Amino acid sequence: MSIEVESTECLPFILYSIIRLILQFLDEQNLGDTRQALESETSIKLNTVTNKQDFTHDIIQGKWDTVLQKVVTLNIRPKALIDLYEQVVLELAELRELGAARSLLRQSQPMYLLKQQHPERYLHLEHVLSRSIFDPQDVYRGHTKEKRRQKIAQDLSDEISVAAPSRLMTLLDQSAQWQQQQGLCINKDSFNAFGGGFGTGMDDNEQRNNSLTEDTTMEQQVGPFAGTCFKTIKIPGKTAYAECMAFSQDGLYLATGSVDGFIEIWNPQNGKRRKDLRYQAEGNFMAMDESVISMVFSKDGELLISGSTDGKIAVWKVQSGFCKRRISPAHGQGVTSLDLNKDTTQILSASYDQLIKIHEIKTGKLLKEFQGHTSFINSVAYINDGSNILSGSSDGTIKVWDTESTQCIKTMSPSGTVLQVLPWSSMDGFVACTKNKQLALYSRIDWTLIKTFALPDTDTSAFISATISSRSGLLYGITEAGMMYGFDALTGDMVGSIQVSETEIISIANHPVSSIVAANDSGGNVYLFKP
């Protein structure tokens, strides 16, 4: 079930909370200018004090210079501010500090609001300041000064919240611990928030250069082979099975596209359907009219793009299950492969109709078309920061296209049907999975063959799918016979193998931030492996 409606969304509450945590951190580090700049840009106030008890104590003690300095940084209701400033004016009058009292009365924003909203109270203050005698009973209108302070302290205390010191750092530490418990990082001390929860803090080129110059570095980066099946997902339905799979880039979602057109979202850590997605909990699912044979998540995980055997493309909002856009048809035949450009504005697609196309995601408008293959196109991907496109076809060729001009700039002819082309940025290349006994690594600089990863002589079948585990530094390939092999990226040596299933295997995919590998078969099973 799908709904062709997109709801209007406001600023997420979680973003508001994150900004306030950053503001608290900046305040604790005495970065006042930076904090003020962020408050000005976002219109969000920290709205907290270091110690609420000290703050209320200062009000009760009448330490108004300290209180007013703190109040300037807080987001307090006008009514509470008016009461506070009114009390300060009265107490200054009692001390016969008439100049300061008049300045506060006539030049402060709360007192301006008092004059607009409650002119009688404002006139009362003017009269108090013009009298030569101060009568507390008349001025405070039957209340004592101490009781009025108590009331103001309580009202202002209710306006502010206090977070524990170093709350941002505490939450990041807890996040690292959770990532470690979920198997998303090996050591929380090496947690890298910008690298999906793990890593060394180096960019891809630094890691690659270090690995090529220091053998021990690559040995440390290469993780163990994912040879233990820890969960099996059964696709619902007697004859249903997953035609394709996709992990979200944050690793929280595993999407399966079924032969019956249904798209389901799973938790890759426990193999259970995500019930925190309300529509799935209610038994409703994203669905297409025909079999779903290709999928890709947006980088932020908010969108899922799916392609079906009838040539249609759908854009889904993962959190709601709503279909944001349908491109019908995008191709004359089934959509075999999908990718997104770096800013998620365009959909790259390939098809059995021998064409590659780019559609605008917002409108569904066809922007570009690439022609040149003479048989089914099985795989397509952006490479070199989107300036080039890779495609692999059943005509036995890999083509490199110029994205801007749509011209083919290079054609390679490996042995056998090209089933997949997989960009491998850390190796400055891409992997070609062809229906033979070898996986091939090519350079994305000069398009030459760099290395091959071969099946053992004892296996007479051919590769049908491959995936790159950036987490462990391994290349995985799976064969017609249902055997999965892992290869060391640097040496090309095989590091492990396992029989996945006796039933026909369709594809494999890797978790983006852990060592989990998923494989699906025609029997309706999705197998999850870890080291």
Taking only the tens place, the pLDDT of each residue in 82-139 is 999 999 999 998 898 999 999 999 999 999 999 999 999 999 999 988 888 888 888 8
Contact 474/485 with Cβ under 8 angstroms? no
The predicted pLDDT at position 387 comes to 95
The predicted pLDDT at position 17 comes to 79
Q: Where are the domains of the chain?
A: 49-159, 210-234+414-531
The predicted pLDDT at position 210 comes to 42
Contact 48/161 with Cβ under 8 angstroms? yes
Cis? peptide before 136, omega within 30° of 0 = no
Residue type, 289: D
Contact 268/531 with Cβ under 8 angstroms? no
Own/partner pairs, 310-318, CB within 8 angstroms, 24+ separation: 310/334, 311/335, 311/351, 311/353, 312/288, 313/338, 313/347, 313/349, 313/359, 314/2, 314/286, 314/288, 315/347, 315/361, 316/2, 316/263, 316/286, 317/6, 318/248, 318/253, 318/265, 318/277
Chain segment 429-443, per-residue pLDDT in tens: 999 999 999 999 999
The length of the chain is: 531
Contact 287/299 with Cβ under 8 angstroms? no
Q: Give percent of the chain with pLDDT exceeding 90.
A: 61
Convert 286-312 to b/e letters by CB count within 10 Å (16 or more is b): bbbeebbbbbbbbeebebbbbbbbbbb
DSSP structure string for 216-245: HHHHHH------EEEEEEE-SSSS--EEEE
What's the predicted TM-score (pTM) here? 0.63
Element (H, E) at 442: strand 438-443
* Mean pLDDT for the chain overall: 86
Paired with 431 in beta bridges are 422, 441
Chain segment 41-71, per-residue pLDDT in tens: 887 877 777 778 888 899 999 999 989 888 8
Element (H, E) at 439: strand 438-443
Contact 224/472 with Cβ under 8 angstroms? yes
**135: Cα within 13 Å, side-chain hemisphere:** 8
The predicted pLDDT at position 13 comes to 64
- Report the C-alpha dihedral over residues 327, 331, 337, 338, rounded to 10 degrees: -30
The predicted pLDDT at position 258 comes to 97
Contact 431/450 with Cβ under 8 angstroms? no
Distance CA 243, CA 235 (A): 11
The predicted pLDDT at position 75 comes to 78
Contact 264/528 with Cβ under 8 angstroms? no
Contact 330/357 with Cβ under 8 angstroms? yes
Distance CA 467, CA 479 (A): 12
The predicted pLDDT at position 190 comes to 52
CATH 2.140.10.10 for the 210-234+414-531 domain, yes or no:
no
- Band (pLDDT 50/70/90 cuts) for residue 196 is very low
